A and B are shown apart, each in its own frame.
Chain A
Amino acid sequence: MILSLRKRAERAHRNDRVFLGIVYGSAGTFVLLILALLVQLILGSWQSIRTFGFAFLWTSQWNPVTSQFGALPLIFGTVVSSFIAILLAGIVGILAAAFLSDFAPREIARPLSFIIELLAAVPSVVYGLWGLFVLAPLMRVAIGPFLQHVLGWSPLFSGPIYGVGLLTAGIILALMILPTVTAISRDVIAAIPQDLREASMALGATKWETMRRVVLPAAKTGIFGALILALGRAVGETIAATMVIGNRPEIAASLFAPSYTLASVIANEFTEATTDVYLSALLELGLLLFIVSFIINALARLMMWTVFRGR
């Protein structure tokens, strides 16, 4: 059917409107979804919020028997273990991504990428069991004593080495988030236009200098996004962390000490909690995780904006 130019333009315009509607609609639905999640968390934690108030945040008790709940040591454990995880995974992941996208020949890069991405497919419980049966003993007999020998003067590496603890949990979490960091960073780096690299090398820079001073800075927004996604995963990880962190709700200086995370407590106690205030306290931990995630993201964005002036 031959449409007049005007009719075609009108149809295209209408299609566009529908299309834009769908696009904006999806974004809107998404925002509504998250708000619904937040509302549900708040409603569920209301009883706990009413009972404990703000003291929940700085109390160090977690006593289901007397129904005294306080989240401070859990916040500590979550923040420290996630920090270790993102530090390890960030460094290794970004460097690996640089190799996989630029330095390695395709025959090596493709299989290596596959293998690293597979890390994301390992079920949490398998990470937990592997950590408990392989990594924790290794930490206790080899890694821990070595670190204590070299760095034992610092309070971070003092104290008895149980095998499980903050450091072990941090390492397991790092392994879990490594594929996210690597795969996404690799794609981001690969997407940087080739002419930028060529210009740099034409000016006499070496491969490494090009990567360090031209490509990585150009990719920083995307890499930042990858790190944030990975950090989110580390903060919210439940089962693997709980099997290797020692599950002791206490704040200690040493990385070898057992600790506890917000998500682990929820995973451990939710299916067995039966009283209303107990369930409510656990849901308040979920709400706290939402808030912690919020704050970490806000801080990171603030940092990016001030350091890189919003670019």
Chain B
Amino acid sequence: MKAPLLRRGLVALLLAAFTAPALAATQLTGAGSTFDYPLFSKAFYAYNQQHSDLTVNFQPIGSGGGIEQFTQGTVDFGATDVPMNADELKRAAKPVIQVPVALGGEAITYNLPGVGSNLRFTRQLLADIFIGKVTNWNDKSIAKLNPKVKFPNLPIIVVHRSDGSGTTYIFTDFLSSVSSAWKSKVGTGKSVQWPAASSVGGKGNEGVAGQVRNSPGAIGYVELAYALENHMDMALLQNRAGKFLACTMDTVRAAAATKANVSATNFSIVDRAGANAYPIAGYSWVVIYKGTANKAHARQLHDILEWLVGPQGQSIAGSLKYVPLPGNVQATAKKALSEMVL
């Protein structure tokens, strides 16, 4: 082996070359919601183009994982679809600030051969289908809403998320609000016990969409971004004001705008009263500590999150088919951030 010293020197140089840029910049770490991952990856990348001294490493290990790692102190911030509740806050021991950063809606998708998009559903009908009361597509209650459509004699297959997810939480929150039977029998949660006799669980949006696509007679719920990106057939859902609405960026934004003061204890925006408000929508949250030892990190975190909930960050959200936060909610988010001890 010739000149081992030279070889070692070269390796050291390469190592330095690789690690040096990382050393010059600050790197923050975050963990949590898979829903937020595409948004964060694009937003933080864009922010880094303008502020080259800060990089953020966010990994989508799930909301529960995010809260756990945040509590353990292995990451600087967490991202979760359901805000931390009293028990979780108690475990974190230090004061926590929760900031709404992303907004999404859920589309109802179905597979009926020969029938196109835009089938009409009322909120009660949807609840009856998912609770297992309405079991066949030729049921009179469906036909009544869609007189021009010829429905086959086809059993309804309910498709839901098998993995715990904020998407399920928002959907079951919606069902609980519109159906007392659902609320008492099943309830709200990231994972629930689905009562319909003919039901199947798919993992992730991909699993649900794939399952719906594969089974004639299936009906399921997916995130809006997913439905739009994959050009899926969607249903029209009647809201509290009586209008049949499609799940779009505008209708979800309208729902969010009806509640300016969202907070970690009062965050549900399903089934809102508003002419154009789509009934199934919800936020995703970032959790940070009010005060941290590392003041430089705290400052950087504050600035990047403020940028994220502001117009620039939210326009990036829009480009990825997240629904941009309405102006009043942006203000609420900024106010929450201002409570950080810097």
Chain A interface residues toward B at CB < 8 A? 61-66, 128-129, 132-133, 136-137, 140, 160, 162-164, 239, 242-243, 246-249, 258, 260, 264, 267-276, 279
Contact = CB atoms under 8 A, between A and B. Distances in A.
Contacts of A276: 87
B203 A140 contact: no
Nearest to B82: A274
Contacts of A267: 163
Contacts, number: 109
B155 A273 contact: no
Contacts of B165: 272
B248 interface: no
30 contacts: A65-B191, A65-B193, A66-B187, A128-B203, A132-B214, A133-B210, A136-B214, A137-B214, A162-B157, A162-B200, A162-B215, A164-B211, A247-B200, A247-B203, A248-B201, A258-B199, A258-B200, A260-B201, A268-B162, A268-B201, A268-B203, A269-B164, A269-B191, A270-B62, A270-B64, A271-B63, A271-B164, A272-B63, A274-B67, A276-B87
B140 to A, nearest CB: 23
Contacts of A271: 61-65, 163-164
Contact of B206 (A129, A246, A274): A129
Contact-size category for B = 35 or more
Contacts of A137: 214
B330 interface: no
Interface in B200-259: 200-203, 206-207, 210-211, 214-215
Contacts of B194: 248
B64 A274 contact: yes
A140 B164 contact: no
A189 B115 CA distance: 58
B88 interface: yes
B188 interface: yes
Contacts of A279: 64
Nearest to B66: A271
A64 B198 CA distance: 20
A239 B206 CA distance: 13
